[in-house]
Structure 1
């Protein structure tokens, strides 16, 4: 497996190719659209699948990106990597991110975002009812994916969590006493970016050129540090996951960097140990940071080799189970 990030440069995820040439090279069909959510906001969605009529996809992989990210740029490279192994991959831009409506980085209530994801992913599954379906979440997207599974775990055949926000590192939390004052700040000035923390990207992507690639995204929302209401909501989400992760029954794989500065791997370990799932695996990679795509080429291949192997095995298991049931 060779992840497409290895073809990128600091100016473009497609290297020297255009986006269209990139998809053609990797034999991927790509589609984009918008949906309207319950608040009448336009939410950007897209999908990737192998450009082949010879066989049906192995399954659906629904991707949820992290905070201050989007479904395009670096995330679409992982989508292409997964699609090349035979899966239909779908993703959306969360409210306030990418091409979707909303104030940059403003997520005062995570349930609205969860509802957007469920609406879009359910529509993809409805159009492909015979395919096993998996969730893939990075960072904040990992927390959202857990919340989705807690709501409708029966609807998913597996869950992959990369650097999931199961708990925010003490090194990254707002400085005391600001954390204690967040409820007041969120109430009276929800969009006020009062949260004092170190820049996320500087401690998320280990390779410098990949940090520059992230910064060169022309569609990147300048959300910067989380607004007060968003920061408070993230703390609430982490506490909710901690209190309810024992209800997680879906098969899952967690991959996490041991040196993750943003989301401490110990919180992921707690979720792994507490979950009721009989099919669960946690892989902590020594020396790796928050965004695993930001590692060296060798480490990227190691991480995503683990992910794709797990995904292929569980798609085959789900298919076998379906055949036996029918």
Structure 2
């Protein structure tokens, strides 16, 4: 008997592209469950959204199953590999990364390779930065990975900057180079991997509750704020892409705790014309209760849209512990809900605000950043567009543009740090 299958194509904010087909194919788990019958819904937005593009239809599973298997076999025959690394490392990169111990093992194996990649963030990173990596179990029993980058020995920090990474991303790849430059300018920089991402404990790519994830961030960064070297300093947030939504939520929950927020190509609003209709949202919420961890959202590879420089786009494939598989159902629903909640509270953004966005970004809409700038209640707000810039303005642009964006962040921090 044919049953209806809900199929969704979901284009989502990801500051880094999906890794190569080898890893995509080999880490994908087959899905043994299928949703209950669902009525046919067609929803096809007429123009690009800065946040979500969805396409929903109902089809018969019986007629498609053989075709799907054939496509999988063809895809396997065209697998590529990470260039310039050994067969052993390629096999490691292709392992299932569902759980933290494997992700940690893979990251350790690739450390030397990553440090020697031909990218300005690795090649030009300052060498005199004090770094520390820590695993810490929080009050909810979740082991969180976090890392610090401090100014050169003998230099007192001007202020502290706390980073919130994007969807699927980590704090131990491109951000390493960004953090070192900001630390070299005199700032204490801290970053953590959310539960289920990077090196922190949890099912890979799974966000059971967006607010719960934000609470993890608040708790961890509150712990770090108590460190001796940060006493008396100002505290700033830096959020990129989905991390922009995390940073905004952190600020909205604890606005008095932060002296400023920096957002890079943030996710903060869903355009009305591409907001899922109420029946679709209701169906997704229902399915997310039945099978929250299921990977039902095929993730489009946004690498070519996010990275203007094609060579840097290839290098991004070496972020081997990033999450690049299909989006999990509960994760998708939680992100939609979080964005809607943020949109309803933008006028409550009261901290000094810096928004940076590529003018040619086709992953997150720069007009949405303009909307945030207009709605925020703070009088100290700056919005800067970079002509021709794509989504990943901190990683995927020409070298001089990357340096300029980092320089703009440092200049903004300098004008608001405790040293001034």
| TM-score between the two structures when normalised by the length of structure 2 | 0.67
User: For 2:351 and 2:268, how far apart are their aligned partners in 1?
Assistant: 16
- Give the stretch that moved more between structures: 303-312 or 191-200: 191-200
Deviation at 1:243, TM superposition (A): 0.4
Q: Secondary structure at the match of 1:250?
A: coil
Instruction: Flag the 1:200–1:50 CA change in 2: closer, same or farther, 3 A.
Output: same
User: For 1:167 and 1:275, how far apart are their aligned partners in 2?
Assistant: 13
Deviation at 1:176, TM superposition (A): 12
Q: Does structure 2 retain, via aligned residues, the 8 Å contact 1:26–1:84?
A: no
User: For 1:113 and 1:300, how far apart are their aligned partners in 2?
Assistant: 29
User: For 1:222 and 1:139, how far apart are their aligned partners in 2?
Assistant: 15
Residue aligning to 1:184:
286
Mapped pair 1:68 → 2:168:
yes
Residue aligning to 1:83:
183
Residue aligning to 1:256:
357
1:307 corresponds to which of 400, 404, 409: 409
Residue aligning to 2:217:
117
Which string of whole-angstrom CA distances, capped at 9 and with x for unpartnered residues, describes residues 253-305 of structure 1?
Answer: 00011222222122221111111101001112232111112111122122222
Q: Does structure 1 retain, via aligned residues, the 8 Å contact 2:144–2:193?
A: yes
Q: Does structure 1 retain, via aligned residues, the 8 Å contact 2:157–2:188?
A: yes
1:295 corresponds to which of 376, 389, 397: 397
Structure 1 residues 139-154: aligned runs within 5 Å: 139-154=241-256
1:234 corresponds to which of 326, 329, 335: 335
Q: Secondary structure at the match of 2:231?
A: coil
Deviation at 1:208, TM superposition (A): 2.1
Deviation at 1:203, TM superposition (A): 2.2
User: For 1:289 and 1:107, how far apart are their aligned partners in 2?
Assistant: 27
User: For 1:168 and 1:199, how far apart are their aligned partners in 2?
Assistant: 20
Residue aligning to 2:149:
48
Q: Does structure 1 retain, via aligned residues, the 8 Å contact 2:125–2:181?
A: no
Which string of whole-angstrom CA distances, capped at 9 and with x for unpartnered residues, describes residues 167-226 of structure 1?
Answer: 3579998899966642233222212222244223332222222222221224x1444232
| TM-score between the two structures when normalised by the length of structure 1 | 0.85
Q: Secondary structure at the match of 1:294?
A: coil
Larger Rg: 2
RMSD value, Cα: 2.7
Structure 1 residues 194-233: aligned runs within 5 Å: 194-218=296-320, 220-233=321-334
Q: Secondary structure at the match of 1:161?
A: strand
Q: Secondary structure at the match of 2:145?
A: strand
User: For 2:115 and 2:322, how far apart are their aligned partners in 1?
Assistant: 20
Structure 1: runs of 5 or more not aligned:
1-9, 321-326
Instruction: Flag the 1:155–1:173 CA change in 2: closer, same or farther, 3 A.
Output: same
Instruction: Flag the 1:13–1:280 CA change in 2: closer, same or farther, 3 A.
Output: farther
Q: Secondary structure at the match of 1:45?
A: strand
Q: Does structure 1 retain, via aligned residues, the 8 Å contact 2:135–2:146?
A: yes
Structure 2: runs of 5 or more not aligned:
1-82, 85-112
Q: Secondary structure at the match of 1:194?
A: strand
Mapped pair 1:101 → 2:201:
yes
User: For 1:67 and 1:224, how far apart are their aligned partners in 2?
Assistant: 12
Q: Does structure 2 retain, via aligned residues, the 8 Å contact 1:71–1:93?
A: yes
Q: Does structure 2 retain, via aligned residues, the 8 Å contact 1:168–1:264?
A: no
User: For 1:174 and 1:105, how far apart are their aligned partners in 2?
Assistant: 22
Deviation at 1:158, TM superposition (A): 0.8
Mapped pair 1:244 → 2:340:
no
Residue aligning to 1:279:
380
User: For 1:225 and 1:288, how far apart are their aligned partners in 2?
Assistant: 27
Mapped pair 1:39 → 2:140:
yes
- Give the stretch that moved more between structures: 57-66 or 282-291: 282-291
Across the two proteins, how many residue pairs are aligned to each other? 304
